Amino acid sequence: MNILRKKPKIEVKPTTTDKKLVLIGWVIVILNFVVVLLFYFDLPETIPVHFNLKGEINGFGSKSILWIIPSISASIYMAMSILVLKMKPYYMNYPVKVTEKNAKELYALGIRMLTVMNLTTVIIFLITTLIFVFKIKGIFDTIDTETLIGLWIAIALLPFIYVFKMFNVSKQ
């Protein structure tokens, strides 16, 4: 808790770009539901719901399970969007020392990092939905699990870009 008191309590709000990125994310969340809705009534009652690492089907279930992906996406996006828009950035942890001189820029980077990570997460949820639906409809023979895993790993590594930027800010 002592670390929180040492950071300058400078108010930094999300920029117009951050707010636009949040809005774009909501459009993608809605698009995810639309994709499921467009294909839902044309699907059989029992569909493949699980695939092994080779992209081969190894589990079946009700087609209603397709609604889980956009629902999880919407839930995560809503929580993270509230966090991005309402959180005080001086409560975040930073990999560098926050001073009066660099606080504003570091706080803005922290907000942008959360915004971009949130946006890329819903994009990958949409891609996951599309791959599932295309596989079920027979448009793809297998699911490219390497692509999906790679995309999720990319999101996990995304904060390191911002950590690098934060180190550059602290050197100035």
Using one digit for the tens of pLDDT, what is the confidence trace for 111-163? 999 999 999 999 989 988 888 888 788 776 655 667 777 888 888 888 888 88
Calculate Rg over the CA atoms of the chain: 20
Residue 36 lies in a domain: yes
Residue 159 belongs to a domain: yes
Instruction: List Cβ neighbours of 167 (8 Å cut-off, separation of 6 or more).
Output: 95, 96
User: Is 0.75 topped by the overall pTM?
Assistant: yes
Nearest by Cα to 70 from 19, 25, 115: 25
Contact 80, 98 (CB under 8 A): no
Q: How far apart are CA 49 and CA 63, in angstroms?
A: 8
Higher pLDDT, 57 or 5: 57
Whether residue 62 contacts residue 44, with contact meaning beta carbons closer than 8 Å, is answered with no
Residue 2 in domain: no
User: Domain for residue 144, yes or no?
Assistant: yes
Average pLDDT value for the chain: 86
Q: What is the pLDDT of residue 143?
A: 58
Does some domain include residue 47? yes
Classify 138 in phi/psi space as left (phi over 0), alpha (psi -120 to 50) or beta: left
Q: Name the token pair of 115.
A: 């915004």
Query: Side-chain half-sphere of 25: how many Cα atoms within 13 Å?
Result: 28
Average pLDDT over residues 13-42: 95
* Residue with more model confidence, 63 or 147: 63
How many structural domains compose the chain?
1
Residue 165: inside a domain, yes or no? yes
- pLDDT digit string (tens) for 89-113? 888 888 898 888 999 999 999 999 9
6 domain-assigned: no
- Asked if residue 4 belongs to a domain, the reply is no
Domain that holds residue 34: 11-171
Question: What percent helix, strand, coil does the chain show, rounded to 5?
Answer: 70, 5, 25
